[in-house]
Chains A and B, each alone.
Chain A
């Protein structure tokens, strides 16, 4: 059975009857006979501003100068065509498909069950660090291109088996059209990743992206822990991540203020330089956007650490920062019985024939070099413009 027919650049395509996923505002449909693209349709008639925004986006091709090879997906699911109805009315847009199982929402890395199910023997701490690097790189590149992500969360970024990331909801990106001077604001946000000024109704800015990036990087490096988790000792009744953000109450900076859930991973698994960035983002940076670490600062600190990651000989999937002398995951498993990276059955028995192979280098060397050169170039350009 098939569903609606829409027109992409005047060509009719038939959509699947059921959407891949639907939210309050829009739903994303597969296209019958074309696995390469999907069409996002708005639930309410989207209005002339949104149509104008997408028309302008179609004239732009951000991040194309970035070196890439066939193994790396683009970092943005950029619109490829407007979707119109039979009367020419604007309904939505088409983009490349980044679907499961090849592309998984970032949030899939935040629980052990999903990590093991979706990434098998790949998602150790080294992998998480690499994803964080890619995320910081994507953010730096978008800011360099004058794009503000705006609605930046663990649900609208997908990650593939090599740790490469793609941002999905490009139609909400905030940007200033260089050709026409038009300003397109971001009207969406996800509260658990929203800085206080954004929660209060302020516009999306680089600084609000930097807040979301800090939260996401912290979550990756702690295998899923939100830095604003925990219930404050003095909270009246209901307490949420959103409340803790608004009150600048993070256990990473002020552990004494909250009841910390017993499963929470100690922030000290972060190497000192990264922990210092986190403390500045979740301390003074909460209410003072100017003190939030920029994406380049995260990128530099993550990059240093990538070459130094240590691998634990004791158990599979145990990798950790070079600042630690012993495996923190083994220590935790010994103390609590809970292994953050291995399921209860996955722990090797003594005398078992062999361990699973160590996953290959997630970034081809040539690409790595090219990316590094580009980062340096960007940093130089940024420094020159500063």
Chain B
């Protein structure tokens, strides 16, 4: 298939690709940085990313195979980040960075909520990365995409739009074919309607959480990545997710 991200790697990562034949686990953080996230929420998100990055570096198991890409929606549109570096649209570089080299971007909140386009970009970079890995003879686990938002999809002018409906059948097909696992998480003051959008995107793995528990969210992503590495069955992922969703472990109930 054609890829907008040909397998040209910046020099600093070339050595990493060379390192071993580990099966890779692509992980995409698809993050809402629209104006409603301004202030405390975006600060909380930046702090959580920094702390999670430290944990990721210290996790010998995850750092063996996880690679992280960040997609954001806000400002004037959607963007992919390679670690802290904002990639130009159509840049001939993969946004995926091996976990042990990942550094988080410093995010600022503004603008509109192009949620549909951001998910499309996330699916696109995952497909491109898979093609790239396969061509290099590298295997991969089922990728994880984690959508986080506090709002409703808008168009480029900031008006609510129903364009997200076009994604629902696509996402359903992709998830049925086990091409990736999508997590759709509503935070802050997300509305009932916002929650409904997330439910139709990710019927199994959606949640509406109080406040901005980004730490717990990222830890859940790590726990799921661990389960993926172990080859766990679907019920394990559902268990991990339901514990995260209720925000308390079973032994406290």
Q: Identify the A interface with B (CB < 8 A).
A: 4, 22-25, 27, 41-45, 91, 100, 104-105, 107-108, 110-114, 118, 153-155, 189-192, 194, 223-226, 229-231, 238-242, 244, 258-264, 336-338, 344
A-contacting 9-mer, from B11-19, B39-47, B109-117, B148-156: B11-19
Nearest chain A CB to B149 CB, angstrom units: 26
Query: Once the chains are docked, how many angstroms separate the CA of A25 from the CA of B100?
Result: 26
Contact string against A for B residues 81-98, beta-carbon threshold 8 Å, 1 for contact and 0 otherwise: 000000000000000000
Count of B interface residues, CB-CB < 8 Å: 41
Q: Complex Cα distance A92/B100, Å? A: 33
- A297 to chain B: closest CB distance in Å? 25
Which A residues are in CB contact (< 8 Å) with B230? Answer: 23-24, 153, 155, 190-191
A111 CA to B16 CA, complexed, in Å: 9
In the complex, identify which listed stretch (B67-75, B131-139, B159-167) lies at the interface while the others stay far away. B131-139
User: Given A240-B141, A260-B137, A261-B138: A226 and B251 within 8 A (CB)?
Assistant: no
User: From B98, which residue of chain A is reached at the shortest CB distance?
Assistant: A113
With most chain A CB atoms within 10 A of its CB, the pick from B15, B63, B237, B252 is: B15
Pick 6 A–B contacts, CB within 8 A, sort by A: A4-B252, A25-B236, A107-B61, A111-B64, A191-B230, A264-B20
A222 CB to closest chain B CB (Å) equals 9
Residues A225 and B21 in contact, CB atoms below 8 Å apart: yes
Bound complex: CA A260 to CA B20 (Å)? 11
Judging by beta carbons under 8 Å apart, are B20 and A224 in contact? yes
Chain A residues with CB below 8 A from B60, complex form: 104-105, 107-108, 114, 118
Query: What's the least CB distance linking A143 to chain B, in Å?
Result: 23
The answer to whether A114 touches B251 (Cβ under 8 A) is: no
Is the CB of B223 closer than 8 A to any CB of chain A?
Answer: yes
Cross-chain contact A113 with B19 (CB below 8 angstroms): yes
Give every chain A residue within 8 A of B236 (Cβ-Cβ): 24-25
Is B239 part of the binding interface, using a Cβ–Cβ cutoff of 8 Å? yes
Please state if A23 and B223 are interface contacts (CB–CB under 8 Å): yes
Complex: how many Å from CA A45 to CA B232? 19
Inter-chain CA distance A231–B16, complex, in Å, is 19
Question: Is B223 in contact with A22, judged by CB distance below 8 angstroms?
Answer: yes
Nearest-CB residue, chain B, relative to A343: B15
Are A107 and B64 within 8 A (Cβ)?
Answer: yes
Chain B residues proximal to chain A, CB less than 8 Å: 15-23, 58, 60-61, 63-64, 100, 134-141, 178-179, 223, 226-227, 229-232, 236-237, 239-240, 243, 249-252
B21 touches A41 (CB 8 A): no
Chain B residues in 8 Å Cβ range of A336: 18
- Given A111-B20, A224-B20, A231 contacting B250 (CB threshold 8 A): no
Chain A residues whose C-beta falls within 8 Å of the C-beta of B239 in the assembled complex:
24, 43-44
B15's partner among A23, A45, A338 (CB-CB below 8 A) is A338
| Bound-state Cα–Cα, A114 to B251, Å | 34
Q: Is the interface of A mostly helix, strand, loop or mixed?
A: loop
Q: A111-B64, A114-B63, A338-B15 are in contact. Are A259 and B136 (CB under 8 A)?
A: yes
Question: A224: which B residues are within 8 A, CB to CB?
Answer: 19-20, 22, 64
B23 touches A240 (CB 8 A): yes
By a CB distance below 8 angstroms, the chain A residues around B251 are 4, 41-43, 91
Closest 5 CB pairs of A and B: A191-B231, A259-B137, A229-B21, A24-B236, A108-B60
A239 and B19 alpha carbons, distance in the complex (Å) = 20
Let me know if B61 and A105 touch, CB within 8 A. yes
> What residues on A are CB-neighbors of B135 within 8 Å?
259
Residue in B closest to A199 when the chains form the complex, CB atoms: B231
Chain A nearest Cβ from B30, distance in angstroms: 22
When distances are taken between beta carbons in the complex, the residues of chain A under 8 Å from B22 are: 110-111, 224, 226, 229
Instruction: Tell whether, in the assembled complex, residue B139 and residue A155 are in contact, meaning their CB atoms are under 8 Å apart.
Output: no
Find the A residue at minimum CB distance from B230: A190
Partner of A230, one of B16, B139, B141, B240: B139
Q: Is the CB of B139 within 8 A of A263?
A: no
Beyond A22-B249, A111-B100, A224-B22, 15 additional contacts (C-beta under 8 Å) are A23-B223, A24-B227, A153-B230, A155-B61, A155-B229, A191-B230, A192-B23, A224-B64, A229-B137, A231-B139, A240-B23, A260-B21, A261-B138, A264-B20, A344-B15
Complex Cα gap A153–B64 (Å): 14
Please tell me if the beta carbons of A44 and B19 are within 8 angstroms of each other in the complex: no
**Bound CA–CA A230/B178 (angstroms):** 20
Of A107, A225, A240, most buried by chain B (CB within 10 Å of CB) is: A107
Complex CA distance for A314 and B232, rounded to whole angstroms: 45
The answer to whether A225 and B20 touch across the interface, beta carbons within 8 angstroms, is yes
Taking CB atoms, residues of chain A closer than 8 Å to B137 are 229-231, 258-262, 264
Q: A114-B100, A240-B139 are in contact. Are A264 and B21 (CB under 8 A)?
A: yes
B62 CB → nearest A CB, Å: 9
Choice from B64, B134, B227, B250 contacting A23 with Cβ under 8 Å: B227
Q: Would you call A223 and B20 a contact (CB within 8 A)? A: yes
**Knowing A22-B223, A107-B61, A224-B22 touch, does A261 contact B252 (C-beta < 8 A)?**
no
Say yes or no: A27-B249 contact (C-beta < 8 A), given A104-B60, A108-B60, A239-B139. yes
Contact, CB under 8 Å: A229 / B136: no
Chain A residues with Cβ below 8 Å from B243 are 43
Determine whether the beta carbon of B136 is less than 8 Å from that of A262. Answer: yes
Minimum distance in angstroms from B44 CB to a CB of chain A: 18
Would you call A338 and B21 a contact (CB within 8 A)?
A: no
Chain A residues in 8 Å Cβ range of B100: 111, 113-114
